[in-house]
Amino acid sequence: MESTSNAYLTSSNVSFKTKCIIMKYRTGTLYNQNHAVLFKLSTSQTCPLCPQVDSALHILSGCHHTQIRNMITKRHNIACRMIFKAIRKTGSLGSCIVSIGIGSNDRMTMQNLQIPETAESRFVPKWLFPPRFPDKDRFTSSRPDFVLVTPIAAKTQKQQTAVGGWVPQSGRGQLREMGAP
């Protein structure tokens, strides 16, 4: 597990500057307004770009300034596209994607990614919602980056004698009494 979380240190795809920023964030030394107050360089702990309290977490994912928000969204979509590539490489899960919303089609094309044929659109398919769920809410609610729908396991006929006369009726965990239709 440790090698996974520290893999960026040996990656040739991560610049030295980015490695330094990551290390500063992880060690709590990423400069922000809290440090400025501590070093008596400022009297305010407020972010210089927005009216919220500044911190390392605020800098990396919480600032509401337009430019910062756009950078955060871009970074998020890049990470999602990397995950999408990994899912597609597995082969078996790539065909289970039914919805994908990770940036523009142009950006995906630039990274040689295509929306799978199984993905209906950028919106979660109607058939995944309860029958009376309003379309308005389906389109305006927060949408996930991916929706994977894996096949349901085939019905099984194995008897489970240890359960005391009950056998699985289907792959959904329903049980029926032995001898019942």
Specify whether the CB–CB gap between 178 and 159 falls below 8 A: yes
User: Average pLDDT of 165-179?
Assistant: 46
**Range(s) of the domain holding residue 97:** 90-152
Q: How many CB atoms lie within 10 A of CB 81?
A: 19
Domain membership of residue 59 (yes or no) is no
Sequence letter at residue 147: V
Higher pLDDT, 53 or 112: 53
Domain membership of residue 132 (yes or no) is yes
pTM, whole model, 2 decimals?
Answer: 0.57
Domain membership of residue 137 (yes or no) is yes
Domain membership of residue 122 (yes or no) is yes
Q: Which residues pair with 160 in a beta bridge?
A: 166
Sequence letter at residue 26: R
Q: CA 88, 94, 99: angle at the middle one, nearest 5?
A: 110
Domain count, the chain: 1
User: Average pLDDT of 102-122?
Assistant: 67
Phi, psi (degrees; rounded to nearest 5) at 17: -60, -45
Most confident of 46-55, 77-86, 169-178: 46-55
Closest among 143, 110, 113 to 129, alpha carbons compared: 143
Domain membership of residue 165 (yes or no) is no
User: Average pLDDT of 8-19?
Assistant: 87
Is the pLDDT at 161 greater than 60? The verdict is no
Q: Could you give the CA distance from residue 64 to residue 52 in angstroms, rounded to a whole number?
A: 8
Q: Could you give the CA distance from residue 74 to residue 103 in angstroms, rounded to a whole number?
A: 8
CB under 8 Å to 10, separation ≥6 — which residues?
Answer: none
Is the pLDDT at 156 greater than 80? The verdict is no
User: Average pLDDT of 10-28?
Assistant: 89
Domain membership of residue 12 (yes or no) is no
End-to-end Cα, the chain, rounded Å: 49
